[in-house]
Homo-oligomer: A and B are copies of this chain.
């Protein structure tokens, strides 16, 4: 395929997608060129458009096309509650529950010193500034980072930073997932559920 510069470039370019290696990239390129020209062009336009339009909300850091995202602008949301999540996907999961009516702060990552992600990269100062702001009415910060080692570390560091700021800091409850049988739940989870029993 020596004369196939465009195809090679497409295969190379597809490898910027997470989890896509040479073989997958080739399969994707062949599929698009053979069966889905329209999809490829739609994808090209969507990529171009999104990279130009999407930026971070000035308040909560999530992806948005405006200056402030719709959630932060919504007057019906409870401004005294602030939920800290790692990614917009986590935020979307919280929203889908319908159980939360407060605001969000999206870290867009998690502390991971080995990968060079420190407090600055996840915008911790921005979070603290938001809580310290003179017009802030935040009463409670709910730490909803993931229950992984890095998520727990991130929650811990944020909790430390909030200690002196006079807001209540809570963490999502750990426990047995709904619909699961004890026999098949891992021991750490059962131990936590036991400690946090109510």
Contacts and interface: CB of A to CB of B under 8 A. Distances in A.
Interface of A: 1-7, 9-10, 12-14, 16-19, 24, 26-34, 36-37, 39-51, 53-54, 62-66, 69-70, 87-89, 91-92, 108-109
Contacts of A1: 62-63, 69-70, 88, 91-92
Nearest to A46: B13
A17 B7 contact: no
A32 B53 contact: no
Given A13-B39, A16-B32, A26-B89, 7 more contacts: A17-B43, A18-B27, A27-B89, A33-B54, A34-B108, A41-B51, A44-B45
A149 to B, nearest CB: 20
Contact of A3 (B10, B36, B65): B65
A65 B70 CA distance: 46
A93 to B, nearest CB: 11
Shortest Cβ-Cβ A-B pairs, 4 listed: A16-B39, A13-B46, A44-B47, A3-B70
Instruction: Determine how many copies of this chain the complex contains.
Output: 2
A51 B65 contact: no
Contacts of A63: 1, 4, 7, 30, 33
B54 A48 contact: no
A39 B18 CA distance: 11
